[in-house]
Structure 1
Amino acid sequence: MGFSGFGNYIFNFRKVRQLSQRAFAERLYISHQTVSKWEKGTAIPSLETLMSLSDEFNVALADIVAEIEHVAFIKTAQKDVIARTFLSLLTTHNLDELTLQLIWQSAGMALNDQSQCYNSKYEILDYIMIGIDEEVKLAIAHSDHIDPFKILAYAVLPVLYERSDELKILYSGNYANGRWLSFLEKEYHDWAEDYMNNYANVILPVSQSFAKDLVVKMTIAVISAWLVQPIPEKIETFSPKFLSLTKLSMRDIVAFDSN
């Protein structure tokens, strides 16, 4: 739908005052093409222009902003519906098999609405990934722990558990075409860097870069193995187990006896 709701608001606002697009634009010191974009729902005014609109026509700025916020809320809700539909389709289709037409039809939307929400299926996937990442970063920022693994166990894992239905799809097979795992590695390499500054003081047979890569990949693998279970273990019992796993070597996990 884009901002067509606000476009109708501007159109009616202008018509009530019996102004052409050009005359309306001149009073706001903007081009009539800009007014046309507003009314078509392909753009919205800047805050500075909204303030000019409020002053010029003696309309409360709060009323105009409320109209935009209402339209933006509808647009966000629409994007969320498409995202949920997209994830549902990924349970039965590989990402490469999906088309925007199939996604929009499954969401019960008209095809001419698609460009107002997403321009590609990868934008949908990015919207989902960024939304999850923002929740994770917020949880990390509010954590009282200093140890990075405790931050993961008691701040990050609860967020992931709440969204386990979505994450199971993103972590499974090639459904997300490796995009989710690549996204995670990029995000958490930088985060891990802060906790590995003292690595040079430890004598290990690999470089700092290799160690960082290994820690990030192994941590992602543990979380992935947990979330792709048919019914992921509840956070209350898995968080302590996660911390225990971080203290084990691969040899400990398989209980290998070299004798």
Structure 2
Amino acid sequence: MKFNTIQHTLQNIRTKQNLTQVDFAEKIFVSRQTVSNWERGISIPPVTALSIIANTFDVPLTQLLSALDGEQANREHAAERQLIVEAFLTLLHRHNGQYSTIDLIIAESGIDYEHAITLFNSPSAILQYIAQQIDAQVIAALDNYSDDDPLMMIADAVLPVLYQHNHTLKILYTGHYANGEWLTFLKNSYQKWAAPFFDNYDITTAPVSRKFAIELTVKTTLSIISTWLTQPVPTPPDQFRQTFLHLTRTPIIKLICP
């Protein structure tokens, strides 16, 4: 299922240009907060702003207007989508993470089937929607945080966002069906995000390849986060921050044999 909404369209335009929200805002003569609100779906850009964006970044105005229509339709059906998401998570939890068909999920949601199937046509589409919603908040948090240390960025900007969704993430991390798709999505997304931090990786002295190092770093970090969020009562992020930094910077042997 494709979510061609204005918030994702603008975010894609900006990231393809390798621009921060500040840079993007300056080019279209608005504030960074305005861009942030657009990308998070808090507000919708007026047509005049879309016209400036179209001219500045050589994007067809019709494409932006179509995305705007998608955003408005998305808002109209937001409550119904949330009911289906909650039904999806409820069934995952009830069945110990086992797969449920879209028919069962829609029945659990209580929404008319013919309408619900136009919103989500598969469990994977629901999972993708959840991922996009959380990922958009993570991207916004990272974009507003500047630090050369990626682990500090995660500790300060990402952990609070993930903690807000800890109930949802606990189900996704522990579910057999969702776990595989969810971790694959995370691994692919964050390997791309982490790659630039390895631009100066010296393969002549390193024990492993750059690709191996990126994948290992991302998987290790995700394992720490998933272990944190799947605890019966996850520690609040301001308290877990130091633990996260300690774990990510401590060799495994020192944790086993302190």
Asked if TM exceeds 0.5, the reply is yes
Name the counterpart of 2:33: none
Residues 4-60 of structure 1 show CA distances to partners (whole Å, capped at 9, x for unaligned) of xxxxxxxxxxxxxxxxxxxxxxxxxxxxxxxxxxxxxxxxxxx9xxxxxxxxxxxxx
SS at match of 1:176: helix
Conserved 8 A contact 1:94-1:175: no
Check conservation: 1:82, 1:107, Cα contact below 8 A: yes
Secondary structure of the 2:205 match is coil
Which residue number in structure 2 is paired with residue 176 of structure 1?
178
In the other structure, the counterpart of 2:145 is 143
Q: Match for residue 51 of structure 2?
A: none
Tell me how far 1:72 sits from its aligned partner.
4.2
User: Partner of 1:204 in structure 2?
Assistant: 206
Does the 8 Å CA contact 2:150/2:197 hold for their aligned counterparts? yes
Once residues 134 and 228 of structure 1 are traced to their aligned partners in structure 2, the CA distance between those partners, rounded to angstroms, is 22
2:250 matched to which residue of 1? Answer: 248
For residues 145 and 205 of structure 1, what CA distance do their matches in structure 2 show? Answer: 27
Look up the match of 1:230: 232
Distance in structure 1 (CA, Å) of the matches to 2:202 and 2:252: 23
Alignment partner, residue 80 of structure 1: 82
Partner of 1:115: 117
Q: Distance in 2 between matches of 1:190 and 1:70?
A: 30
Q: Structure 1 70/184 Cα, relative in aligned 2: closer, same or farther at 3 Å?
A: closer
Normalised TM-score (structure 2): 0.69
- Pick the aligned partner of 1:191 from 186, 190, 193: 193
Q: CA deviation at 1:145?
A: 2.2
Q: Which runs of 5+ in 2 are unaligned?
A: 1-46, 48-68
Instruction: Give CA-to-partner distance per residue, 1:63-114, whole Å, 9 cap, x none.
Output: xxxx998754231221111112211211122665312221112111122222
1:131 CA displacement: 0.9
Structure 1 gap segments, 5+ residues each: 1-46, 48-66
Offset of 1:177 from its aligned partner? 4.5
Shift of 1:211: 0.8
Give the deviation of 1:155 after TM superposition.
Answer: 0.2
SS in structure 1 at match of 2:197: coil
CA distance in 1, matches of 2:99, 2:222: 26
What's the % identity of the aligned pairs? 38
8 Å CA contact retained: 1:93, 1:175: no
State the Cα distance separating 1:204 from its structure 2 match.
2.5
- SS state at 1:244 partner: helix
- Tell me the equivalent position of 2:106: 104
- Give the AA of the match of 1:222: I
Aligned-partner residue type, residue 174 of structure 2: S
- Go from structure 1 to structure 2 and tell me whether the alpha carbon gap of 1:212 and 1:234 turns closer, same or farther (over 3 Å shift): same
**1:217 lines up with 2:219 in the alignment:** yes
Q: Which runs of 4+ in 1 moved over 3 A?
A: 67-72, 94-97
Normalised to the residue count of structure 1, the TM-score between the two structures is 0.69
Q: Give the residue type in structure 2 aligned to 1:159.
A: V
How many residues align structurally?
192
Equivalent residues of 2:173, 2:179 under 8 A apart: no
Aligned CA distance change for structure 1 residues 184 and 69 (closer, same or farther; 3 Å): closer
Q: Distance in 2 between matches of 1:170 and 1:184?
A: 12
